[in-house]
């Protein structure tokens, strides 16, 4: 599907600072099954992008615009690719960046988080904080990204609201600031007390949540009449929260120390409007972004953007390659010629698109906070900067993550070694996999390194179907990784249980089969300078 978006006349001569001010760019972080796809649908439904929930993510049994481009995704029912959904809400422009659900692709999710100004942490009311939620929250904290918490699935039995709030405080040190408070326990959900105005917002089940749930606003007196005891209990708990200092503190939220908390049900579309309103009222708008020297690129400087995701094979009809870039300053106008900061080459933006699922709209203009999909972007890699005009700018590169899985790659067809090399290079540039060089194994046997083992499956499949260069992967038994502080010591690190691998960024890694073999080598050679690979999410 392809069409040209007709922007309203008023948008045609826009001021980037004003446009940035009405934008909110965020991503949802959650553990698989917490309801991210459902919430995305519900948000889009509220924004009237789609008329009925179910049209954005096509999971099994649901119809719609599937965001699974690779057949592997389809067969496994997981979403690997990332894109952005843009919609208008109350005179604002919301950019929701999609993140992959599977833990093996967490590296992709981390990169998406470098392109947002805020995150919504989605919890399953019965499960609370789950491992991947915590992992992703840590990245948000590290990057200073403010987090809004949405406790989902309140329409079915779950844990106590106070207990969930305590968990945020005790386990991840995030102070909860509930803006709404549930009336009725999880499973017997009557609605929420809106702590901002003291009103009761009654909840009514709709069949399958296919339309926006009707909200019934009532005063406290009416609420007592309607739901009696449950209302009293919610009101008392809300008082307790105020007494313990858990009311909204916008500064603490901006510093990412405290999180506004909302309760709802994505599948029933309840609480979703609150979430949109909180995004508008409290989430930060795009602001000046520091370049690689730490100098802020002001919003009103000429156009600049950085690539946070590269994707190929999104359109089965064409073998295309799309680079997703977040606009950081100025106005993007389709057709402008930008400079690729790394090579100083010109890059034509004639084919800029916005994408979500298989829907593509041609983007005519974009402003700070927006995501543009640049088609035919063979020159662009993850972390690259594009800009126009002077001064030139380069944003910091993308963080590389500590790989945890290693495999040697060999082509099964020596006649296609050129395609083998080229294919791997492209996958590395897209950020699908890391490529390490081993002096002892040589050029023909590069070592691939991944954060999650499923990345190897993607490499296998794409090398075969896209580059027609099938390969054989031999998994290596390493589980412990250290940075080699002194490359002069590399010869000491070649043993039967360890080896040395070089990364393209110039760093040298030592990999060990296990902790015990690393420690015994260190005991044998105390002069070895081995360091933890820590600053990866810097
Ligand atoms: P994702 O893996 O995080 O994208 O999760 P999905 O959106 O696919 O949701 C996982 C399951 O939870 C699906 O069966 C949803 O229908 C269900 N679900 C999502 N939100 C809610 C909710 O608010 N209430 C209930 N009862 N089920 C929900």
pLDDT tens-digit series, residues 517-529? 999 999 999 999 9
Query: What would the two tokens of residue 227 be?
Result: 């739901």
**Ligand 1 probe mutation, 38, 158, 266, most atoms within 8 A of CB:** 38
Closest CA to 442 of 488, 491, 478, 408: 408
CA of 43 to the centre of ligand 1 (A): 14
CA of 53 to the centre of ligand 1 (A): 13
- Check if 34 has its Cβ closer than 6 Å to any atom of ligand 1: yes
Q: Is 401 or 109 the better-scoring residue by pLDDT?
A: 109
- Check if 334 has its Cβ closer than 6 Å to any atom of ligand 1: no
- What percent of the chain has a predicted confidence (pLDDT) above 90? 53
Instruction: Find all residues with CB under 8 Å of 383, minimum gap 6, and list them.
Output: 306, 307, 308, 395, 396, 397, 398
513 labelled ligand-binding: no
Look at residue 68 in the predicted model and tell me its pLDDT: 33
Look at residue 50 in the predicted model and tell me its pLDDT: 43
CA of 521 to the centre of ligand 1 (A): 49
> 348 near 393, Cβ under 8 Å?
no
* This prediction's pTM: 0.82
> 361 near 84, Cβ under 8 Å?
no
**Ligand 1 probe mutation, 29, 33, 96, 100, most atoms within 8 A of CB:** 33
Residues 156 and 126: their CA atoms lie apart, in Å, by: 8
Q: What are the residue ranges of helices labelled H in 48-184?
A: 71-76, 106-113, 131-143, 161-172
pLDDT higher than threshold 50 for residue 532: yes
* Mean predicted lDDT score pLDDT of the chain: 84
Query: Which tens digit of pLDDT belongs to each residue from 169-210?
Result: 999 999 999 999 999 887 788 899 999 999 999 887 766 555
Burial profile 414-432: b = 16 or more Cβ within 10 angstroms, e = fewer: eebeebbbebbebbbbbbb
Closest CA to 269 of 39, 33, 27, 28: 39
Other CB atoms within a 10 A radius of the CB of residue 400 amount to 20
Closest CA to 503 of 416, 406, 426: 406
54: left (phi over 0), alpha (psi -120 to 50) or beta: left
Average of per-residue pLDDT across 34-44: 87
Query: Which tens digit of pLDDT belongs to each residue from 420-433?
Result: 999 999 898 888 89
Residues 514 and 108: their CA atoms lie apart, in Å, by: 27
Q: Is 401 or 473 the better-scoring residue by pLDDT?
A: 473
Average of per-residue pLDDT across 119-144: 92
CA of 32 to the centre of ligand 1 (A): 9
pLDDT higher than threshold 80 for residue 219: yes
Residues 420 and 320: their CA atoms lie apart, in Å, by: 19
pLDDT higher than threshold 90 for residue 128: yes
Residues 2 and 45: their CA atoms lie apart, in Å, by: 21
Reported confidence tier of residue 81, pLDDT bands at 50, 70, 90 = very low
pLDDT higher than threshold 90 for residue 63: no
Look at residue 13 in the predicted model and tell me its pLDDT: 55
- Going by CA atoms, what residue is nearest to atom 25 of ligand 1? 153
Residues 302 and 373: their CA atoms lie apart, in Å, by: 19
Q: Is 246 or 104 the better-scoring residue by pLDDT?
A: 246
Q: Which domains does the chain have, with CATH numbers?
A: 16-58+73-282 (3.40.50.300), 290-387 (2.40.30.10), 405-531 (3.30.70.3280)
CA of 124 to the centre of ligand 1 (A): 9
* Nearest atom of ligand 1 to the alpha carbon of 122: 3
Q: Is 48 or 22 the better-scoring residue by pLDDT?
A: 22
Q: What is the dihedral of CA 206, 207, 210, 211, to 10 degrees?
A: -30
Residues 234 and 193: their CA atoms lie apart, in Å, by: 7
Side-chain-side CA neighbours of 417 within 13 Å: the count stands at 7
CA of 35 to the centre of ligand 1 (A): 4
- Going by CA atoms, what residue is nearest to atom 15 of ligand 1? 35
Q: Is 260 or 210 the better-scoring residue by pLDDT?
A: 260
Average of per-residue pLDDT across 480-508: 91
Query: What would the two tokens of residue 367 be?
Result: 């402003």
Q: Would you mind telling me the total number of residues written for the chain in this entry?
A: 538
CA of 172 to the centre of ligand 1 (A): 24
- Going by CA atoms, what residue is nearest to atom 16 of ligand 1? 267
Residues 438 and 511: their CA atoms lie apart, in Å, by: 11
- Check if 33 has its Cβ closer than 6 Å to any atom of ligand 1: yes
- Check if 101 has its Cβ closer than 6 Å to any atom of ligand 1: yes
Query: Which tens digit of pLDDT belongs to each residue from 350-367?
Result: 766 655 554 555 667 899
Other CB atoms within a 10 A radius of the CB of residue 250 amount to 13
Q: Is 63 or 146 the better-scoring residue by pLDDT?
A: 146
pLDDT higher than threshold 50 for residue 472: yes
- Going by CA atoms, what residue is nearest to atom 26 of ligand 1? 153
Average of per-residue pLDDT across 124-149: 92
31 labelled ligand-binding: no
Look at residue 534 in the predicted model and tell me its pLDDT: 54
Q: 245 to each of 96, 178, 249, 491, 538, how far by Cα in Å?
A: 31, 11, 9, 58, 32
Reported confidence tier of residue 80, pLDDT bands at 50, 70, 90 = very low
SS3 call for 226 = helix
Residue corresponding to tokens 């967490």: 106
Q: Is 69 or 482 the better-scoring residue by pLDDT?
A: 482
- Check if 155 has its Cβ closer than 6 Å to any atom of ligand 1: yes
102 labelled ligand-binding: yes
- Check if 518 has its Cβ closer than 6 Å to any atom of ligand 1: no
Residue 2, class by beta-carbon neighbours within 10 Å (0-12 exposed, 13-18 middle, 19+ buried)?
exposed
- Check if 311 has its Cβ closer than 6 Å to any atom of ligand 1: no
SS3 call for 341 = coil
Average of per-residue pLDDT across 55-65: 37
Query: Which tens digit of pLDDT belongs to each residue from 85-125?
Result: 888 888 999 999 988 766 666 778 888 999 999 999 999 99
* Nearest atom of ligand 1 to the alpha carbon of 59: 8
Residues 65 and 58: their CA atoms lie apart, in Å, by: 6
pLDDT higher than threshold 80 for residue 57: no
Other CB atoms within a 10 A radius of the CB of residue 523 amount to 9
Q: Is 67 or 12 the better-scoring residue by pLDDT?
A: 12
pLDDT higher than threshold 60 for residue 284: yes
CA-based diameter of the chain, in Å?
Answer: 81
- Check if 59 has its Cβ closer than 6 Å to any atom of ligand 1: yes
As a three-state string, the secondary structure of 347-404 is EECCCEEEEECCEEEECCEECCCCEEEEECCCCCCCCCEEECCCCCCCCCCCCCCCCC
SS3 call for 90 = coil
Residues 194 and 178: their CA atoms lie apart, in Å, by: 9
- Check if 30 has its Cβ closer than 6 Å to any atom of ligand 1: yes
Q: Is 401 or 419 the better-scoring residue by pLDDT?
A: 419
């Amino acid at each position: 599907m392809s069409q040209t978006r007709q922007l309203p006349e008023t948008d045609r001569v826009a001021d980037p600072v004003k446009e940035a001010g009405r934008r909110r760019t965020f991503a949802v972080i959650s553990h698989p099954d917490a309801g991210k796809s459902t919430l995305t649908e519900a948000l889009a439904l509220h924004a009237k992008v789609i008329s009925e929930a179910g049209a954005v993510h096509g999971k099994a049994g649901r119809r719609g615009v599937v965001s699974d481009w690779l057949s592997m995704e389809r067969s496994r029912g997981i979403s690997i690719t990332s894109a952005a959904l843009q919609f208008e809400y109350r005179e604002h422009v919301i950019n929701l960046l999609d993140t992959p659900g599977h833990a093996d692709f967490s590296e992709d999710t981390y990169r998406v988080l470098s392109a947002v100004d805020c995150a919504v942490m989605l919890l399953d009311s019965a499960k609370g904080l789950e491992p991947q939620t915590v992992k992703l929250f840590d990245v948000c904290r590290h990057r200073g990204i403010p987090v809004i918490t949405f406790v989902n699935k309140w329409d079915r039995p779950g844990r106590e609201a106070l207990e969930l709030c305590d968990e945020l405080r005790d386990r991840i040190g995030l102070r909860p600031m509930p803006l709404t408070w549930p009336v009725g326990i999880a499973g017997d959900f009557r609605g929420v007390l809106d702590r901002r105005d003291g009103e009761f917002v009654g909840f009514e089940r709709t069949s399958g949540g296919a339309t926006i749930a009707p909200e019934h606003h009532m005063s406290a007196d009416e609420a007592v009449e309607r739901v009696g005891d449950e209302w009293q209990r919610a009101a008392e708990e809300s008082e307790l929260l105020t007494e313990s200092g858990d009311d909204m503190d916008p500064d603490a939220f901006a510093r990412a120390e405290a999180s506004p908390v909302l309760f709802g049900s994505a599948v029933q579309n309840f609480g979703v409007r609150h979430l949109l309103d909180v995004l508008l009222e409290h989430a930060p708008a795009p602001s000046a972004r520091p370049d690689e020297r730490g100098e802020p690129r002001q919003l009103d400087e000429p156009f600049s953007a950085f690539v946070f995701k590269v994707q190929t094979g999104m359109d089965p009809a064409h073998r295309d390659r799309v680079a997703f870039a977040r606009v950081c300053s100025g106005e993007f106008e389709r057709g402008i010629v930008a400079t690729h900061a790394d090579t100083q080459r010109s890059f034509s933006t004639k084919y800029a698109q916005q994408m979500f699922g298989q829907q593509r709209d041609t983007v005519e203009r974009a402003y700070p906070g927006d995501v543009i999909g640049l088609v035919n972007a063979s020159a662009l890699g993850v972390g690259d900067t594009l800009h126009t005009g002077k001064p030139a700018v380069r944003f910091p590169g993308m963080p590389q993550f500590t790989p945890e899985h290693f495999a040697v790659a060999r082509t099964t067809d020596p006649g296609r070694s050129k395609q083998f090399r080229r294919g791997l290079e492209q996958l590395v540039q897209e950020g699908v996999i890391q490529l390490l060089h081993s002096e002892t194994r040589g050029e023909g046997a590069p070592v691939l390194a991944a954060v999650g083992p499923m990345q190897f499956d993607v490499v296998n499949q794409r090398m075969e179907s896209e580059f027609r260069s099938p390969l054989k992967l031999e998994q290596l038994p390493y589980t412990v990784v250290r940075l080699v502080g002194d490359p002069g010591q590399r010869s000491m690190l070649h043993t039967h249980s360890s080896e040395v691998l070089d990364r393209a960024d110039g760093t040298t890694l030592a990999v060990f089969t296990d902790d015990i073999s690393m420690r015994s080598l260190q005991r044998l050679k105390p002069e070895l300078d081995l360091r933890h690979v820590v600053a990866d999410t810097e």
